[in-house]
Amino acid sequence: MTELLTATAVTKNYGGIVALSRADFSARAGEVHALLGENGAGKSTFIQILAGAVRPNGGTVTLGGQPYRPRHPQDARDAGISPVFQELSLIPDLTVEQNIWFRREPLSFARTVRARALREATEALFARHQFPAIRPDQELRRLTLADRQLVEIAKALSADPKVLILDEATSALGPRETEWLLGLSQGLARAGTLVIYISHRLGEVRQIADRITVFRNGATVAAYDTKEVDDETIIADMLGRRMDRLYPERKPTATDRVAVRLRGFGAGHRLADIDLDLREGEVLGVAGMQGHGQRELFQALFGIGGARGTVEIWGKAKTIRGPRQALTGRDGLALVPEDRRNHGLLLSRSVRENLTLSVISRFTRFGLTDPKREAKLVDEMIAALKIKAGTPEQLAGTLSGGNQQKVIFGKMLLTEARILLLYDPTRGIDVGTKGEIFQLMRDLAAKGYAILFYSSDLAELVHVADRVAVLRNGRLGAVLEGEDNSERQILRAAMIERAA
């Protein structure tokens, strides 16, 4: 079979940061081709180049043997390349069907959109690909994230593309929709489409990809048939080293001093009767099935929504009224929120501004900021956390997911609060950065920070936390430590009623 799409020595710089450096890629019609790499490896930049959203600084791309140089997303679509972006390309105030056919609507003689033809085309498209049920007349902003992702996929498919690019398309989907999309990808490939599949989930890649290309630091490091390679090799190629240890060494550093003491703590109707101590130097894990009160616990501690019961912070009874009070000073609390893109960061602001937003008073005198002191703090934090940004003025939104998370950590550390609330801090982050974040958590604990740590990945709790508090139905099911701190025991406590 001949190659449909080839890219040779493609290069892209953003300011001082090299996103792609002489990357190569080659894929055939009729295959599912996985593109793997850590966050920041250049995958997103590469597909944005294919999609015409970004123009490379160098290198060549050919499509079907012809030079391919899209100057605009429309050129890519005209050439038969349809991307499904991780960052969705949909319009919140248009309906599902208006979104799918945006700029390609069937028009009447009066140049208006023919509503009935639009509906019929949408229903035919949904039927052809057996889409999960979505109402075509709903406004997009009313849809769940998963449904929006489906609309994005429908939009890409509506153009009958020769090349379909799926960028982390399953990360927002539930298990059934994921299964559907995997089947769909294979079906399309069988019918002659090239499906470029980007995912952090190796299991999915194994299931459907014929071949795999691995990017690292903006360059191509490996390409192989899926059948001929094992998971360890793939991970090693992604990281550039054998990953000997994802989890850091865990020395007990907890003291007897209690940072947060909860008695009869509760919030809303989801959380009640929590008696829990978080000690200085301790990483206290929180586990629970989705919706069993962990989100409420973190929010109530941070002052979002009301709380019941008593809270003692560093031995003093406190009423936490809102984020501002929770943040204040060395006795305060700092939170890494669940939705970092929307709640943790100002994406259109610089790394510097994001870092210092909550702590402007630390280098303000007489109401004026002192730029030198600010710059010093920012530089120290960027260096300490190894944040990969060209300059402190780079916009937060242009950083990779892992680096954005580091900025949030930096912002939190600058508040000088020594009680840290980490809500799923490694979600959607590559393995390398995960390792760095775990090491950072243990280092902070050793310095006397008290850390409350929720993760949806039980293995992380088992390996990083000193103790794990398991929530079930909004109550404390068990606190596990030592031998009992295992995935098995956590699941038992999370799912099964306590005997007696």
Partner 1 sequence: MTMTTIDRPKPASSHPAPDAQPRPAATAGLRAALIDRASLIIPCVMLVALLALYGTLREGVFTIDELNLDTAAAMTLILAATGQTIVLLRGGIDLSIGGMISLGTVLAATRFGTDPAQATAWAIGIVAIGGLVGALNGVLITVLRLQPFLVTLATWSILSGAAMIILPTDGGSLPAGWMRFGFANWLGLSSSVWLLILLLAFWFWFKRTRLGISIRATGSNERSALLSGVSPLRINVATYALSGLFAALAALYLTTQTGAGSPTIGKDYILPSVAAAVIGGISLFGGRGGLVGTIIGAYILTIIGNLVFVLEISSYWQPIVSGIILLVAVLASSIAEKSARRSLT
Query: Can you tell me which of 46, 68, 85, 438 binds partner 1, judged by CB under 8 A?
Result: 85
Per the DSSP assignment, residues forming a β-bridge with 20 are 12
Query: Can you tell me which of 88, 117, 258, 289 binds partner 1, judged by CB under 8 A?
Result: 88
Per the DSSP assignment, residues forming a β-bridge with 395 are 350
Rounded Cα distance, 223 and 200, in Å = 16
Query: Can you tell me which of 138, 186, 217, 473 binds partner 1, judged by CB under 8 A?
Result: 138
Decide if 488 contacts 470 (C-beta within 8 A). Answer: no
Write down the least CB distance from residue 232 to partner 1, Å.
Answer: 37
Rounded Cα distance, 161 and 81, in Å = 6
Query: Can you tell me which of 95, 158, 199, 394 binds partner 1, judged by CB under 8 A?
Result: 95
Using CB under 8 A, which of the segments 111-119, 167-175, 335-343, 457-465 binds partner 1?
Answer: 111-119
By CB under 8 A, residue 107 contacts partner 1: yes
Distances in whole angstroms, Cα of residue 373 to Cα of each of 314, 318, 363, 392: 29, 32, 6, 14
Write down the least CB distance from residue 319 to partner 1, Å.
Answer: 25
Distances in whole angstroms, Cα of residue 215 to Cα of each of 38, 212, 245, 266, 473: 8, 10, 22, 47, 43
By CB under 8 A, residue 98 contacts partner 1: yes
What would the DSSP string read from start to end of 242-303? ----SSPP------S-EEEEEEEEEETTTEEEEEEEEETT-EEEEE-STTSSHHHHHHHHTT
Q: Nearer Cβ to partner 1, position 158 or 415? A: 158
Query: Can you tell me which of 15, 58, 65, 92 binds partner 1, judged by CB under 8 A?
Result: 92
Q: Nearer Cβ to partner 1, position 104 or 257? A: 104
Write down the least CB distance from residue 73 to partner 1, Å.
Answer: 5
Write down the least CB distance from residue 74 to partner 1, Å.
Answer: 4
Q: Nearer Cβ to partner 1, position 50 or 490? A: 50
Burial class, 411, CB count within 10 angstroms (exposed 0-12 / middle 13-18 / buried 19+) = buried
Rounding to the nearest 10 degrees, give the CA dihedral for residues 340, 214, 178, 397.
Answer: 20
Write down the least CB distance from residue 404 to partner 1, Å.
Answer: 17
Using CB under 8 A, which of the segments 1-9, 93-101, 315-323, 456-464 binds partner 1?
Answer: 93-101
What would the DSSP string read from start to end of 121-143? HHHHHHHHTTPPP--TTSBGGGS
Looking up tokens 């616990």, which residue turns up? 297
Query: Can you tell me which of 3, 24, 139, 416 binds partner 1, judged by CB under 8 A?
Result: 139
Write down the least CB distance from residue 101 to partner 1, Å.
Answer: 10
Burial readout 295-320 (b: 16 or more C-beta within 10 A, e: otherwise): bbbbbbbbbbeebebebebbeeebeb
Query: Can you tell me which of 1, 2, 71, 93 binds partner 1, judged by CB under 8 A?
Result: 93
In the region spanning residues 451 to 490, those forming contacts with partner 1, defined by CB under 8 A, are: none
Write down the least CB distance from residue 212 to partner 1, Å.
Answer: 27
N- to C-terminal Cα distance for the chain? 66
In the region spanning residues 23 to 52, those forming contacts with partner 1, defined by CB under 8 A, are: 51
By CB under 8 A, residue 77 contacts partner 1: yes
Using CB under 8 A, which of the segments 17-25, 108-116, 274-282, 337-345 binds partner 1?
Answer: 108-116
Q: Nearer Cβ to partner 1, position 138 or 226? A: 138
Rounded Cα distance, 96 and 125, in Å = 12
Write down the least CB distance from residue 72 to partner 1, Å.
Answer: 7
Write down the least CB distance from residue 166 to partner 1, Å.
Answer: 16
Per the DSSP assignment, residues forming a β-bridge with 260 are 278, 313
Q: Nearer Cβ to partner 1, position 79 or 451? A: 79
In the region spanning residues 144 to 183, those forming contacts with partner 1, defined by CB under 8 A, are: none
Rg from Cα positions in the chain: 25
Write down the least CB distance from residue 99 to partner 1, Å.
Answer: 9
Write down the least CB distance from residue 94 to partner 1, Å.
Answer: 6
By CB under 8 A, residue 191 contacts partner 1: no
Write down the least CB distance from residue 290 to partner 1, Å.
Answer: 15
Interstrand relation of 467-472 and 283-287 (parallel, antiparallel or unpaired): parallel
Q: Which of 194, 171, 193 is nearest to 85 (CA)?
A: 171
Query: Can you tell me which of 8, 60, 113, 252 binds partner 1, judged by CB under 8 A?
Result: 113
In the region spanning residues 56 to 75, those forming contacts with partner 1, defined by CB under 8 A, are: 72-74
By CB under 8 A, residue 53 contacts partner 1: yes
Q: Nearer Cβ to partner 1, position 115 or 202? A: 115
Tokens for 244? 């000997």
Amino acid at 155: K
Write down the least CB distance from residue 145 to partner 1, Å.
Answer: 11
By CB under 8 A, residue 361 contacts partner 1: no
Burial class, 470, CB count within 10 angstroms (exposed 0-12 / middle 13-18 / buried 19+) = buried
Amino acid at 460: E
Q: Which of 450, 425, 465 is nearest to 333 (CA)?
A: 450
Applying CB under 8 A, the residues found at the interface with partner 1 are: 51, 53, 72-74, 77, 85, 88-95, 98, 102-103, 105, 107, 110-113, 137-139, 142
